[in-house]
Structure 1
Amino acid sequence: MNHIPLYESSNCPAIIDAEFNCQMYGRPDSEYLKYRWQPLNCELPRFNGLEFLLKMRGKSVMFVGDSLGRNQWESLICMISSSVPRTSTQMSRGDPFSIFKFLDYDATISFYKAPYLVDIDVVQGKRVLRLEEISGNANAWRNADVLVFNTGHWWNHRGSLQGWDYMESGGTYYQDMDRLRALERGLGTWAKWVDANIDATRTRVFFQSISPTHYNPSEWSAGATTSTTKNCYGETTPVSGSTYPGEYPDQMRVVDTVIRGMQNPAYLLDITTLSELRKDGHPSIYSGDLSPRQRANPGRSADCSHWCLPGLPDTWNQLLYTALLF
């Protein structure tokens, strides 16, 4: 029997960020909670949180990356917690490092915020993204038993959302450069670090592929008129069929190339295509405490890049669980 969802947001309130807690913030529909990804020709094993903790006894799992990594980190904690509701736990939230412990199992599930993976420094009041430096962040990752990396979204941000003032590569400062090239250099630095510092016999390294956004309805509905919808707001069902009519993210070419070039390639958790189909899974305007004015203007305020919890990241973790334990 499959219980979908695997947990209730109300049973995991201290974990789920307001921006992912769509049920608490008034999302009226609940069908999106019940869809489950069914791969062709195989049956995914059922997620078992107790089994996970027994396997991870005395070990640490660390998610490293941007808020999509945090989305997945919170999902995994809730999935495990619902299997062992009475076990004692401890949590500390910080920036960049947040840690959740299942004390009875001495198992740690943590999140380290590093939206670009590579370092970002402040020099004379300016934020400098260092495409070849990673040691400032990476010392914190060295001793984890399982590492799950992700990056992507922040490399595209422009204007007020851009996270840096200059990029630095090979001693030269750039006001801008081709964003895919910048991603390739940054990921190349990460890959070199993993090859040089991670003992593949002791530590499992995963890379979470690019999580798609749903801001452009013409990607998924032929003949969508901008008058009816501007983004994922109001979407309550997945794309039908198993192919996504929109484009596959360019960034995935870079990810594939870099991982293939590693001595010990990270395990690519390729969630891109299955996530593209879930245009219904985003918080939209149910992303925390928006003002009535923001809610009235979904074209501007809907979040179509993160995911509701419970929701799609639970599927990502089911894949992680399967890759890790089977």
Structure 2
Amino acid sequence: MKGHCKILVFQTYNGLVAIGSLVFFVVAMSCAFLYLFPSVPPVVNSYPVSNSSSSATDKCDVFEGRWIQDESYPLYNASECPFTEIGFNCFANGRKDGGYAKWRWKPKNCDIPRFDVRAVLEKLRGKRIVFVGDSLSRTQWESLICLLMTGVEDKKSVYEVNGKKITKQIRFLSVHFSSFDLRIDFYRSVFLVQPASVPIRSPKRVKSTLRVDKLDDISQEWIDSDILIFNSGKSLKLGMPITTGFRIALNTWSSWVETMVNTNRTSVFFRTFESSHWSGRNHNSCKVTKHPWSSSWGKDRSTISDIIIKIVKKMKVPVTILHVTPMLSFRSDGHVGTWSDNPSVPDCSHWCLPGVPDMWNEILLNLLPGNQVSLK
């Protein structure tokens, strides 16, 4: 009995020593690993919009999601809105299938609250909103005006300040909601930088040039605003690669924003490149589908959008990117096509109104300071 007890004690002691050694070795290796490879939180490019009931780590990228059918859309009748260009009113121009206007964007991890026009008008009371860019920027400008007009009882209280009709040629348009002291302006500045004269002895094909190192000469008129939304065109022909010229022009723009815009007052947005759906060998064929594509077919990426995102990330002041490129890649059904005021010229770049641009504005309004997209 004594011998057996001695052996048992000896074996137990040796076992404890072995276990202790193993634990010490594991702890030592863990410390060495943490020292050599410290934990670094991943860089997540997301739009943190959460409600008070969600945890602090919840995030919602409102531009990651899918289109779902919603019979409560569209939110307005383009024929009843005097600020919609006839060329974008597809239904009035003969388009029979109205399904293109009955799609709503559903973010993956949250919902965009139902559009409450009266609440929005009150929030925007006394504000000045400025859109700067190309014809697609003008489309978003028209869309926002038409959306907000549904909440105004006296339609005559909404008017263009200079009595101008909405056309493609006019460089400045301003609509005043007098009951709410709200102004919504549009400045046509396709490339944001300053147009320049054609150099002497230039080839005949050169019709115009740009000063990519100097912002547009009307830029002083953009400063005094509460909400400032930019976009820029892609079809730019220069004596340098398009992407190089665009990058220089956008750096000029970013320096101007950092120097001239009071971002404590003004919320600045930049909308990324809008996917078009031209097809064919020379990209001159326009086939508007009846329903959205089920696949993006690679149109969810854009070199131009990548440049915008990269430059904005480096800016010293807050600018919100409206990264619409992925969500638009599916909407092959939303284009004007042959349902414009000039049906002989198909259009797979611009969008029908009401339609896709309305969703840009619903997202824009929910990303303003003080608003929150509720997580579901």
Q: Same fold (TM over 0.5)?
A: yes
Cα distance change of structure 1 residues 85 and 275 upon mapping to structure 2, 3 Å threshold: farther
Scaled by the length of structure 2, the TM-score of the pair is 0.72
- Aligned residue-pair number: 287
Structure 2 partner of 1:142: 223
Cα distance change of structure 1 residues 36 and 107 upon mapping to structure 2, 3 Å threshold: same
Distance 2:117 2:314 in 1: 34
Q: Does 1:246 align with 2:298?
A: yes
Query: Does the aligned pair in 2 maintain the 1:65–1:113 contact within 8 Å?
Result: yes
CA drift of 1:217 comes to 6.8
Residues 15-94 of structure 1: matches in 2 within 5 Å?
Answer: 15-87=83-155, 88-91=157-160, 92=162, 93=164
Residue 127 of structure 1, aligned match among 202, 208, 218: 208
Structure 1 partner of 2:73: 4
Q: Does 1:215 align with 2:278?
A: yes
Structure 2 partner of 1:286: 339
Structure 2 partner of 1:307: 351
CA displacement, residues 59-93 of structure 1 (integer Å, 9 cap, x when unaligned)? 10010000010010000000011122425111144
Query: Does the aligned pair in 1 maintain the 2:124–2:182 contact within 8 Å?
Result: yes
Which structure is larger by alpha-carbon Rg, 1 or 2? 2
Deviates more, 1:92-101 or 1:280-289: 92-101
Q: Which amino acid aligns with 2:113?
A: P
CA displacement, residues 182-215 of structure 1 (integer Å, 9 cap, x when unaligned)? 0000000000000001111100000011111000
Q: Which amino acid aligns with 2:257?
A: V
DSSP-derived class of the 1:199 partner = coil
Query: Does the aligned pair in 2 maintain the 1:144–1:203 contact within 8 Å?
Result: yes
Gaps of 5+ in 1: 159-166, 168-175, 219-225, 295-300
CA drift of 1:135 comes to 5.1
Residues 185-200 of structure 1: matches in 2 within 5 Å?
Answer: 185-200=248-263
Gaps of 5+ in 2: 1-69, 201-206
Structure 1 partner of 2:265: 202
Distance 1:184 1:199 in 2: 23
Q: Does 1:236 align with 2:290?
A: yes
Query: Does the aligned pair in 1 maintain the 2:288–2:332 contact within 8 Å?
Result: no
Structure 2 partner of 1:179: 242
CA drift of 1:53 comes to 1.8
DSSP-derived class of the 2:183 partner = strand
DSSP-derived class of the 1:237 partner = coil
DSSP-derived class of the 2:350 partner = coil
DSSP-derived class of the 2:187 partner = strand
Distance 2:285 2:366 in 1: 33
